[in-house]
Amino acid sequence: MHPSLRIRFARGDYLKDRRIGLAVTGSIAAVESVKIARELIRYGADVYPYMTREAEKFISRDALLFATGHEPVVELSGRDEHLEEFDLVLVAPATADIIGKAACGIASDAVSTLILANLSRCLFVPAMSERMFSNPIFRENLERVSQFARVMEPKFEEGEMKIPSREEIAARVIHELHEELRGKKILVIGGAGYERIDDFRIVTNLSTGCTSIAIAKVAYFLGADVKLILGLHSCEVPPYIPVEEFGTLEDLLWKIDSMVSEGYDAILVPAALPDFKPSHMEGKVGIEEMRDMNWEENPKFLSLLRERYGGFLVGFKAESNVPEEELIRRAEDRMRRHRLDMIVANDLGNVTREGTEAIIIHGKGRVRVKGTKEDLARSILEVIADEI
């Protein structure tokens, strides 16, 4: 068994049956190509490497053979390797030279010929010095290529336009190849909200934010334009997901106008929002003052959002140690009261940091899910994709 087969599907099957051409050019960033190839394979892709002669100064053919299980194409032969059928051609790293050739329709080696034959299927990942990236002639070439292909923004670091991480590149490839939510705008509101007791203390709910982050990630994988509004959390947010933070419920309420005006096709709210808030006191209060503190009920965010938002709205209902019938009854009651299109119900006794069990309730029925939080996120979004 080739080593590449041992890692296939290690991160999921989002690239199952996908053929990816990986074009490696002469940049020091070529040393990252093995990691990029392996990351794509972990999602199920079959990766076929192509490389320029200049790339061989930085990485060997054997390294790419090890990474992918396929001999790298360095020179074209009678097998017409440039006409292989690929779902996407990833040019990573993409030098100024290869982008200039693509912009001018030049096919002078295996990589530039592959690109010319597949330009509309190409995703370029530039890597070069900032001075080269800023050159007006190069910018014209990049703009011209962008009219026919896709370009991934490099990250500026240490005066260089560096190649993004392998995780970001794999996510972008997945995003480009999935159509389930293509053209749809998705907003996810997650994490824990809080209310201030005094200038030092808050009251909040226990929430890691992992479910909301998983939903945003999978929505991006499925082709959506995604935004995440996030409260307190302990899970890492992928760098390709745009994030806006909130703290108190009042912070979130101020954002409703923009939520409505931005035209989201669906809004999902797995956020854990406080039902009550204390009377805020200045400074740091003592124990006696804490005991005498008054509490008032917070308004229901979902109801206020529904008053202004007419799109597909998804709520979440968490209970603890209740029979399934009662969990469903309470979830359906919330669904009616807030006029939700879907609700996801679970018992906290069945939730861990790694996994969860939940019931998705929507207009066409119920879906039971048991697995990772990403499994739940995918099931939720697949239902939404059929509805919007």
Structure tokens belonging to residue 387? 């509805």
Other CB atoms within a 10 A radius of the CB of residue 5 amount to 10
Other CB atoms within a 10 A radius of the CB of residue 9 amount to 14
Highest mean pLDDT among 19-23, 79-83, 206-210: 19-23
- pLDDT at residue 201 in the model: 84
Residue 6 to residue 371: CA distance in whole angstroms: 22
The pLDDT of 317-328, averaged and rounded, is 91
- List the one residue out of 308, 318, 313 whose CA is nearest residue 335: 313
pLDDT (tens digit, 9 = 90+) per residue, 338-372?
999 999 999 888 777 778 899 999 988 999 999 99
* pTM greater than 0.85: yes
The pLDDT of 277-295, averaged and rounded, is 78
Consecutive H or E run containing 40 = helix 33-42
Amino acid at 308: R
Could you tell me the pLDDT band of residue 244, with boundaries at 50, 70 and 90? very high
DSSP helix/strand/coil, 90 = strand
Looking up tokens 């933070």 gives 245
Pair 346, 270: CB distance under 8 Å: no
pLDDT (tens digit, 9 = 90+) per residue, 7-56?
999 999 999 999 999 999 999 999 999 999 999 999 999 999 999 999 99
| The pairing of beta strand 128-129 with beta strand 160-162 | antiparallel
pLDDT (tens digit, 9 = 90+) per residue, 228-241?
999 999 999 999 99
pLDDT (tens digit, 9 = 90+) per residue, 109-135?
999 999 999 999 999 999 999 999 999
Pair 125, 176: CB distance under 8 Å: no
| Residue spans of alpha helices (H) in 105-195 | 110-117, 130-134, 136-146, 166-177
- pLDDT at residue 290 in the model: 74
Question: What is the DSSP-derived secondary structure letter of residue 203?
Answer: E
| Domains of the chain from N-terminus onward | 3-177 (3.40.50.1950), 185-387 (3.40.50.10300)
pLDDT value at 284 more than 90:
no
Looking up tokens 């002469």 gives 26
Residue 299 to residue 256: CA distance in whole angstroms: 14
Distances (CA, A) of 228 to 175, 187, 238: 16, 6, 11
pLDDT value at 289 more than 80:
no
- pLDDT at residue 200 in the model: 84
Can you name the residues that pair with 358 across neighbouring β-strands? 369
Residue 388 to residue 383: CA distance in whole angstroms: 9
Residue 21 to residue 88: CA distance in whole angstroms: 6
DSSP helix/strand/coil, 188 = strand
User: What is the average pLDDT score of the chain?
Assistant: 94
Share of the chain above pLDDT 70, in %: 100
- Using alpha carbons only, how large is the chain's radius of gyration in Å? 25
- pLDDT at residue 88 in the model: 98
Residue 131 to residue 124: CA distance in whole angstroms: 19
Residues in the chain: 388
